[in-house]
Amino acid sequence: MLYWLMKRVLLGPILHVFFRPRIEGLENIPAEGGALLASNHLAVSDSFFLPLKVRRRVTFPAKLEYFTAPGVKGRLKKWFFTGVGQIPIDRSSGSAAQAALDTGVRLLREGNLMGIYPEGTRSPDGRLYKGKTGVARIALEAGVPVVPVAMFGTDKANPIGSKMWRPYPIRIKVGKPLDFSRYEGLAGDRFVERSITDEIMYALMELSGQEYVDMYAAKAKELQAEPAVVVPAQQQRAAREFDRVPETEAG
């Protein structure tokens, strides 16, 4: 009840007025039965706009911290994220990660639509990063199709680090479902799961037009956060002199 109240009365009309979201390829989402919606991930708001334009309920896993903050603010945050169709996922350990996978499989086997971001975290620069194989594991164990989804404009409406959203037109493009039933019974095979994940990421690259980076987004964020190394001027001059020396053949 809270989900539909948020979508149709409280949040949905506001998002439609300020962001004019539109969707292409809606017919590619199954009208019934379980399916995994695999999307690129540009902003937190991705999880709000996609469910807004899909007729069926879409459930997204969200980090546990959104549901466990203390005080009145924490309770309001929990209420809000529950209302927009998100469920808490604990990613703090290996057992917690397995529990997250099990939750996704259960939801899909019950015939629900589940949204997932194969990159695992938001893109730090708008490019598409290497997918994590959890998306393949869930699809294989649940026996459901994977529907690629490309989001456009959410990083402009909700830039990383921003506290306020900015009016910007949002576009969503849904691709044709990917059927991996040929791999039935091979969940847990890391080569099969990597192959499936790469196929999903290729479909997302084609759909979104993003540049693909063969690196996990989390690693890219770590590299961006590393402090720059300051090289003394004397060493810089020495390096330039070294670069001028022509290479010679050994021996």
Q: What is the pLDDT of residues 116-175, one digit of tens each?
A: 999 999 999 999 999 999 999 999 999 999 999 999 999 999 998 888 899 999 999 999
Task: Report pLDDT for 232.
Answer: 58
Task: Report pLDDT for 234.
Answer: 55
Chain-centre distance for alpha carbon 185: 26
pLDDT confidence band for 96 (50 / 70 / 90): low
**In the predicted model, is pLDDT for residue 59 greater than 60?**
yes
Measured CA to CA, the distance from residue 1 to residue 30 in angstroms comes to 22
Q: Where are the domains of the chain?
A: 2-215
CATH of the domain spanning 2-215 = 3.40.1130.10
Output the DSSP codes for 134-189.
Answer: HHHHHHHHHT--EEEEEEESHHHHS-TT-SS------EEEE-PPBP-GGGTT-TT-
Measured CA to CA, the distance from residue 76 to residue 97 in angstroms comes to 26
Task: Report pLDDT for 233.
Answer: 55
Task: Report pLDDT for 240.
Answer: 45
Query: How, if at all, do strands 146-152 and 171-174 pair?
Result: antiparallel
Task: Report pLDDT for 251.
Answer: 36
Let me know: does 127 contact 8? Beta carbons within 8 Å. no
Task: Report pLDDT for 150.
Answer: 98
pLDDT confidence band for 93 (50 / 70 / 90): low
**In the predicted model, is pLDDT for residue 213 greater than 80?**
yes
**In the predicted model, is pLDDT for residue 230 greater than 90?**
no
**In the predicted model, is pLDDT for residue 237 greater than 70?**
no
Measured CA to CA, the distance from residue 42 to residue 176 in angstroms comes to 21
Measured CA to CA, the distance from residue 12 to residue 188 in angstroms comes to 39
Measured CA to CA, the distance from residue 17 to residue 15 in angstroms comes to 6
Percent of the chain with pLDDT over 70: 86
Task: Report pLDDT for 170.
Answer: 98
Name the average pLDDT for the chain.
86
**In the predicted model, is pLDDT for residue 185 greater than 50?**
yes
Percent of the chain with pLDDT over 90: 62
Residue closest to 210 by CA, chosen among 136, 124, 150: 150
Model's pTM, two decimal places? 0.83
Residue 137 or 76, more confident: 137
Task: Report pLDDT for 162.
Answer: 85
Q: What is the pLDDT of residues 238-247, one digit of tens each?
A: 444 433 333 3
CA-to-CA separations, 87 to 48, 104, 116, 237, in angstroms, rounded: 13, 10, 12, 56
Task: Report pLDDT for 4.
Answer: 82
Q: In which region does residue 143 sit, left (phi positive, over 0), alpha (psi from -120 to 50) or beta (all else)?
A: left
16-20, 70-74, 94-98 — which is least confidently predicted?
A: 94-98
Task: Report pLDDT for 143.
Answer: 97
